[in-house]
Amino acid sequence: MRIDAVSIFPDYFNVLELSLLGKAQKQGLISFQAHDLRHWTHDIHKTVDDSPYGGGAGMVMKPEPWGEAFDDLITDNRPTVIFTTPAGRPFNQALAKELSTKEHIVFACGRYEGIDQRVVEHAKSRADVLEVSLGDYVLNGGEVAALAMIEAITRLIPGFMGNAESIVEESHADGLLEYPSYTKPQIWRELEVPDVLLSGHHAEIAKWRKAQSVERTKAVRPDLLAE
Ligand code: ADE
C-alpha cells in the first residue's frame, strides 16, 4: 500500500518511523511519504490560507496549492483521497478494514477553518474521495486524525501483524467491545483472576468472554448494540 499525507506540518508524521509501521516500511508492505503543502506555493511567503468569502472568523486554506499537490500525487488510477475534517463521516473499524484493501491513499490534512470546498469537489474527478472525522471533537488540524487512521488501517493489512488472531478477537472486530484480560500472578494485591479462566474449559471460557463483551458494551457503548 502506498500512503501519502499532505500537510503544512509534515514533521507530525515522523512518529511513523517508530513502532510497527517503520518495520512494515522496511519490509516493503507499505510505502509512506509526508509532503509539505507549502512546496506547492509560489509566493515568497508560501501562503496557504486566506480570509473566508462571506465573512466569519478564521482563515480558509486556498485551493491552488492543494490542486497542484493532487496534480503531482494523483498519477495512478483513482486512488482514495481522505480529507480529515471534524465535518466528515465518523472513522470506525469497518472503514479501517475497507481502507486496508486499497492500493493508494492520500491524506489531505487541513488546518484553520478547513480547505476551500472546491478542492474536495475537484478531487472527485480523479479519486474516490472521503471526508472523515476522527471523532466528535475538534483538533487543531487533521494531522493527528490522519496518524490515528493510518495506524488503524495499516495494522489490518495482511502480513502486518505478527498474530492475525488477535485482530479477529479485539474490540470492534465483531461490533462489541473486547472482554477483560488477565495474566499472572493469579492473585495480585488480594485481587483474583476469575475462576473460569483457570478451568481449562474452552467452551465455558468462550461463553464467559462473550457475556463479558456484551455486558461491557451494554454499559459503556449501548449505541453499538443498537447497531
Ligand atoms: N481536524 C480537526 N478536528 C478533526 C477531527 N475531529 N477529525 C478529523 N480531522 C480533524
3 state SS for the chain = CEEEEEECCHHHHHHHHCHHHHHHHHHCCCEEEEEEHHHHCCCCCCCCEECCCCCCCCCEECHHHHHHHHHHHCCCCCCEEEEEEEEEEECCHHHHHHHCCCCEEEEEECECCCECHHHHHHHCCCCEEEEEECCCCCCCECHHHHHHHHHHHHCCCCCCCCCHHHHHHCCCCCCCCCCCCCCCCCEECCEECCHHHHCCCHHHHHHHHHHHHHHHHHHHCHHHHHC
Tell me, in angstroms, the distance from the centre of ligand 1 to residue 131's CA.
Answer: 10
Assess whether the C-beta atom of 144 lies below 6 angstroms from ligand 1: no
What's the CA gap between 104 and 147, in Å, rounded?
16
Assess whether the C-beta atom of 115 lies below 6 angstroms from ligand 1: no
pLDDT value of position 113: 87
Do residues 106 and 52 touch, judged by C-beta distance below 8 A? no
pLDDT value of position 171: 78
- Consecutive 10-residue runs of the chain (227 residues): their mean pLDDT? 97 88 82 97 98 96 98 96 97 97 97 94 98 97 98 90 73 89 98 98 97 97 90
Assess whether the C-beta atom of 34 lies below 6 angstroms from ligand 1: no
Q: Could you identify the atom of ligand 1 that is nearest to the CA of residue 138? A: 3
Do residues 37 and 72 touch, judged by C-beta distance below 8 A? no
C-alpha cell at 14: 515522523
Tell me, in angstroms, the distance from the centre of ligand 1 to residue 91's CA.
Answer: 10
pLDDT value of position 165: 66
pTM above 0.85, yes or no: yes
pLDDT value of position 94: 96
